[in-house]
Amino acid sequence: EQLQESGGGLVQPGGSLRLICTASGLDFDHYAVAWFRQAPGKEREGVSCSGRSGRSTYYADSVTGRFTISRDNAKTTIYLQMNNLKPEDTAMYYCAAASCSGGSTVAEPLFPGYWGQGTQVTVAS
């Protein structure tokens, strides 16, 4: 299976980006999928997670109210709409099949050690 991230870029504080994650070779609608991010010098963290149907969604406290996760199972694609971006959102963003959590962890990857190339988000003026 493969998950391909895209949509990152350089944006000013307060700006918006929409990240896209497209899956292939995966029974997409059988899996919850999450977005993770890793900033330089920091551990990878869960940002948002979508249940298999998209009805259940989970967010890190730091992005609640600013980010929205959604999925289109027919297109085997998951999105992360990011609004009101802040410099602290700067990181490499990854998507992965995951187990969603309602706690502070947000999500745990189902296949640890397997990550795509990610997409870089840089928020700077």
* Average pLDDT of the segment spanning 26-42: 93
Answer yes or no: is pLDDT of 1 > 80.
no
Give tens-digit pLDDT for 58-108: 999 999 999 999 999 999 999 999 999 999 999 999 999 999 997 888 999
Residue that has been written with the tokens 């967010």 in this structure: 59
Answer yes or no: is pLDDT of 14 > 90.
yes
Helix (H, G, I), strand (E, B) or coil at 98: strand
* Predicted pLDDT at 109: 94
* Predicted pLDDT at 56: 96
* Predicted pLDDT at 40: 93
Please list, residue by residue across 53-73, b when 16 or more beta carbons sit within 10 angstroms of its beta carbon and e when fewer do.
Answer: ebeebbbbeebeeebebebee
User: Between 95 and 24, whose confidence is greater?
Assistant: 95
User: Between 106 and 112, whose confidence is greater?
Assistant: 106
* Predicted pLDDT at 25: 82
